């Protein structure tokens, strides 16, 4: 693992207990039966009962465990040992049939020898990947012929916007970013706590066209590509929450894309 990915893993290891204690993740609510999957994530996959599902970059497993609650035979993976340890603890405590693997995403083919009906990933995952084409090949590797890949993700156009201490839309980051960007931010999207030690992270930006092309080149057939004006969290401080739980611009709410989804299949 190179130094950038190592720094990211150390940062995510430190985030795990902070996120687990945050209202953003509401672990106690989840234990009481709350599902973490939204309508975009569940809408196109339909009934998953009895289907095998691999959740890439699962953090500490709430999404994976939600799929298990819906009847999937779920497996989650993440590169954070602390995240996977907590996921396993929650699965045991809640008696949910899900298993978890700690692995670097690109090394997963050396750690897992299965194929799945569904490969799933969502929200804030692509930005942590230094090799988009390698990621797409991993997705294809773990799909059964005829299997389905689904991603719900923050739209790369929205990622160009400055998201701190602003009262209006302000473009800040390039859409066609080459190479990694370094951040030295305290806290995270889920907590404002600043008593952390490993605050340096490295992120990568990918235009939507590159994401689609990487999947196609890996052998997948893209069935749907959808764009939406809502976000799964309050990405900008002036966004307002709708009755559906998503966050929107306060005016001209349909003006910009904040989320996209892709559904693709591996041809038989």
Helix locations, the chain, DSSP H: 3-20, 27-31, 39-43, 62-69, 81-94, 108-111, 132-141, 208-217
Q: pLDDT tier at 195 (50, 70, 90 boundaries)?
A: low
Overall average pLDDT of the 61-84 stretch? 98
**pLDDT confidence of residue 190:** 78
Better pLDDT: 2 or 152: 152
* pTM over 0.85, yes/no: yes
Residue 250, pLDDT score? 95
Class level of CATH domain 3-265: alpha beta
pLDDT given for residue 264 in this prediction: 98
Average pLDDT of the residues in 145-166: 95
Segment among 191-195, 209-213, 252-256 with least mean pLDDT: 191-195
Whether the per-residue pLDDT at 203 is higher than 90: the answer is: yes
Where are the domains positioned within the chain?
3-265
What is the per-residue pLDDT for 104?
A: 96
pLDDT reported for residue 139: 98
Is the model more confident about 216 or about 185? 216
The overall average pLDDT reported for the chain is 94
């Amino acid at each position: 693992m190179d130094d950038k990915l190592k720094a990211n893993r150390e940062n995510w290891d430190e985030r795990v207990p902070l996120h687990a204690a945050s209202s953003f993740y509401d672990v106690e609510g989840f234990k009481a039966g709350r599902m973490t999957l939204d309508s975009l994530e569940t809408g196109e996959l339909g009934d998953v009962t009895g289907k095998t599902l691999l959740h890439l970059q699962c953090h500490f497993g709430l999404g994976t465990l939600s799929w298990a609650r819906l009847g999937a035979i779920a497996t989650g993976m993440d590169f954070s040992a602390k995240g996977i340890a907590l996921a396993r603890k929650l699965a045991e405590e809640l008696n949910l049939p899900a298993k978890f693997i700690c692995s670097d995403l690109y090394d997963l083919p050396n750690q897992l020898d299965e194929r799945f009906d569904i490969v799933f990933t969502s929200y804030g995952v692509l930005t942590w990947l230094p090799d988009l084409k390698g990621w797409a090949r991993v997705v294809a590797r773990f799909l059964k012929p005829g299997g389905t890949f689904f991603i719900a993700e923050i739209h790369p156009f929205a990622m160009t916007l400055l998201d701190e201490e602003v009262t209006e839309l302000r473009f800040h980051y390039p859409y066609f970013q080459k190479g990694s960007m370094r951040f030295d931010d305290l806290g995270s999207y889920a907590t404002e706590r600043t008593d952390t030690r490993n605050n340096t992270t490295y992120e990568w930006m990918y235009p939507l066209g590159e994401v689609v092309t990487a999947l196609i080149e890996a052998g997948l057939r893209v069935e749907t590509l959808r764009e939406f004006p809502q976000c799964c969290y309050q990405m900008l401080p002036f966004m307002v929450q709708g009755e559906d739980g998503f966050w929107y611009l306060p005016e001209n709410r349909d003006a910009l894309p904040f989320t996209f989804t892709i559904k693709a299949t591996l041809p038989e």
